Structure 1
């Protein structure tokens, strides 16, 4: 598998504002408010909503924050009914346990492949 065929996620963003009429909004990744247009989201089957997660493959910083250039809605996270809750500084994050395990496993395999190269 060559680098052209695999894309390693840069992180997970959360949509905090979305304008359905304009098809764009603001998502936060690593504390950075990023503009996102739905044209930057792969295989978009549903309209994004506030609170949705985006798997971010490419983004860049701008003078006013950032811009997500390539990502996809993480719809698989909401499909799991079992949730894990982690409390960090009075902030609660919930994610499907199975989805978290899959993400960790995929990232571990990708890291191993990159180290072997």
Structure 2
């Protein structure tokens, strides 16, 4: 059990090889903490909605995000502040409007796996 830390070495495994594979599969504890922090961004429906909107439609302004998500502008601003600090989005001034852009390539595949809303085609008068 070459990967088992010394403080756990006294415990008896059922399958030593599987224990080492599991430890290798977990990887670096600091990296796990980092990913847990990244996933915490997605744990709130409001944050996830804002992040999906910016990912799929950005660059986008706070007012438009509030309209799209149904969340108040002040709450969207708070969410964006957290997403900026985490590095998931960046802000760029466009005249008097600040637009937010998705900047988390590590989260892109995960967000892309969430199916978007199916929008029915517009019916035209015949």
TM-score (norm 1): 0.26
Larger Rg: 2
TM-score (norm 2): 0.25
